Amino acid sequence: MWRIFKDLLKHNGEFRAGALLISIVVAMAALSFISPYAPDVSYVVAPDVPPNASNWLGTTSRGQDVFWQLTFAIRNTLLFGLLVALLSRLVALMVGLLAGYCGGWVDRVLMSVNDTFNVIPLFPLLILFYFVLRDRMSTPLLAVLMASLGWAYDARLIRSIAMSLKSREFTATGIFSGMTAREILLEQHLPYIMPIVFSTALNNMNWSIGLQVTLAVLGFMDIETPTIGSMIYWANQHTAIVAGIWWWIAFPVALVVMTFVGLFLLAVSMNEYIDPRSRLAGMEGASQ
């Protein structure tokens, strides 16, 4: 694992850039543990101060330090993305492996449901959820809802790999030596699928964080917990752009864009690593 990491770092420019961006973002999130201010108190510093030596990224109109507020916001945002990715991976793995391995009517039924979830516009559904739940829409609940809606695309990907694994010789050997379907799936097929699970998890985090920012900006979720989205929401509520408090909007946006680009680059470089054809092309380029 560590060797793969070092290899990627050495040979893959996209991985280097992605790893750098994500380490900055994670370091920022880690700083939240030594923050001098609690995340939910306001008017602890002078409001509307532009970036200076003591308030590096300025302060908000609610009297909060943008830098320290941002550390909490990015931590919660990342945790949210991780939770959604983790939960939706479980569903995607289960559906993908079962559909690919069983084939026949199981495959047809699961894939019909899968295609349905791919097509349905989820955003109006999430808004409908918020509409009926209102204040009970907590961040963990939103994560569960999004995980149960956002697994379909990756399940299809996993299914296609499971289908090709099924026709390999070792699967037949496993069946003849009396392994159960569960054992074959978990012990023989899962290790082959893990890399793709990992890279789809990164893309899924991007998807869920993007949706969460969007929902929070509209005020359609718990906006008291600091996240990148709720920071932008409060900045909009205080008309920060018009009032010239640009640092309240600019820094959260910059940090979340760094997160998106970083996660995406990591996912792309993972995909390249998984696909030996493009790895070969990269080596040719290096030897020239």
Residues within the interface to another protein (CB under 8 A): 14, 112-113, 115-116, 118-125, 127-134, 136, 153, 206, 209-211, 213-214, 217-218, 220, 232, 241-242, 249, 253, 256-257, 260-261, 263-265, 268, 277-278
The residue length of the chain stands at 288
CB of 108 to another protein, least distance (A): 11
Which residue lies nearer to another protein by CB, 14 or 48?
Answer: 14
CB of 43 to another protein, least distance (A): 26
Considering beta carbons, is residue 184 or 217 the nearer one to another protein?
A: 217
**CA gap 32, 27 in Å, rounded:** 9
Q: Specify the residue, 14 or 190, whose C-beta has the smaller distance to another protein.
A: 14
Q: How far is the CB of 188 from another protein (least distance, A)?
A: 28
Name which of 120 and 172 has its Cβ closer to another protein: 120
Closest CA to 126 of 264, 24, 221: 221
Residue closer to another protein by CB (options 66, 213) is 213
| Residues 132, 117: Cα–Cα separation, whole Å | 21
Q: Among residues 171 and 208, whose Cβ is nearest to another protein?
A: 208
Instruction: Output 121 or 178, the one with its CB closest to another protein.
Output: 121
Contact status, residue 29 vs residue 262, Cβ threshold 8 Å:
no
Smallest gap, in angstroms, from Cβ of residue 277 to another protein?
7
Of the candidates 76, 90, 95, 89, the residue with the CA atom closest to the CA atom of residue 201 = 89
The whole-angstrom separation of Cα 232 and Cα 92 is: 32
Closest separation in Å from C-beta 42 to another protein: 23
Which residue type sits at 62? R
Integer Cα distance of 110 and 162 in angstroms = 14
Local structure of 21: helix, strand or coil? helix
Q: How far is the CB of 141 from another protein (least distance, A)?
A: 11
Q: What is the DSSP string of 177-191?
A: TT--HHHIIIIIIHH
Smallest separation, CB 187 to another protein (Å): 32
Helix 228-237 crosses helix 190-218 at what angle (to 10 degrees)? 10
Nearest to 188 by CA among 170, 164, 161, 169: 170
